[in-house]
Amino acid sequence: MALRCLLSAVLAVAAGLASLRAEAHPVRVRPPAIVVGVPPGTLSTVLNDVLWRPFIRNTHQRVTAVIWDGTLSTLRQKPGAARHNWSLLLVEDEVAQAGCRDGVFLASEAVASAAQDSTACYSAGPSLDFALAWDTSRFHGTPNWADFWDVARHPGKRGLRADPRSTLEVALLSDGVPPDAVYRVLSTPEGLDHAFRRLNQLRPYIVWWTTSTEAIRILTTGAALMGMAATVDVLATNAASPNPGFGLLPSPLFRVNYDWVIPSDTARGIAAARGLRTWATAPEQKNALTLRLSGTQDGEMAQIIRTGPGIPHFLPPLPLNNAFWHDHLPAIEERFRQWMSEH
CB atoms within 10 A of CB 93: 20
The pLDDT value recorded for residue 270 is 86
Residues in Cβ contact with 163 at an 8 Å cutoff, skipping those fewer than 6 apart? 210, 333, 336
Percent of the chain predicted with pLDDT > 70: 77
118 pLDDT higher than 60 = no
User: Which of 145, 159, 127 shows the shortest CA–CA distance to 252?
Assistant: 145
CATH node for 34-126+257-294: 3.40.190.10
117 pLDDT higher than 60 = no
Model confidence at 259, pLDDT cuts 50, 70, 90, reads: very high
Average per-residue pLDDT for the chain? 81
The pLDDT value recorded for residue 116 is 47
25 pLDDT higher than 80 = no
The pLDDT value recorded for residue 76 is 76
With beta carbons less than 8 A apart as the criterion, state whether 258 and 122 touch. no
Pairing, β 206-209 against β 158-161: parallel
79 pLDDT higher than 80 = no
**269-293: string of b/e by CB count within 10 Å (b at 16+)?**
bbebbbbbbebbbeeebbebbeebb
- Alpha-carbon Rg of the chain, whole angstroms? 26
CB atoms within 10 A of CB 16: 10
3-17, 156-170, 234-248: which has the highest mean pLDDT?
A: 156-170
With beta carbons less than 8 A apart as the criterion, state whether 170 and 339 touch. no
The pLDDT value recorded for residue 11 is 34
CATH class of 128-256+307-342: alpha beta
Q: Which residues on neighbouring strands pair with residue 38, listed in sequence order? A: 67
Distance, C-alpha 51 to centroid of its chain = 15
Q: Choose the weakest-confidence range: 73-77, 119-123, 227-231, 243-247.
A: 73-77
Q: How confident is the model over 105-121, as a mean pLDDT?
A: 61
Model confidence at 221, pLDDT cuts 50, 70, 90, reads: very high
State the Cα–Cα distance between residues 273 and 262, nearest whole angstrom: 7
96 pLDDT higher than 70 = yes
Q: How confident is the model over 81-110, as a mean pLDDT?
A: 81
Q: How confident is the model over 303-314, as a mean pLDDT?
A: 38
Rounded to whole angstroms, what are the CA distances from 23 to 18, 26, 28, 112?
9, 6, 12, 41
Burial of 170 (0-12, 13-18, 19+ CB in 10 A): buried
108-122, 164-178, 261-275: which has the highest mean pLDDT?
A: 164-178
Distance, C-alpha 12 to centroid of its chain = 58
Rounded to whole angstroms, what are the CA distances from 32 to 35, 62, 72, 87?
9, 7, 25, 11
Q: Where in the chain is the domain with CATH 3.40.190.10?
A: 34-126+257-294, 128-256+307-342
Q: What is the pLDDT of residues 150-185, one digit of tens each?
A: 999 999 999 999 999 999 999 999 999 998 899 999
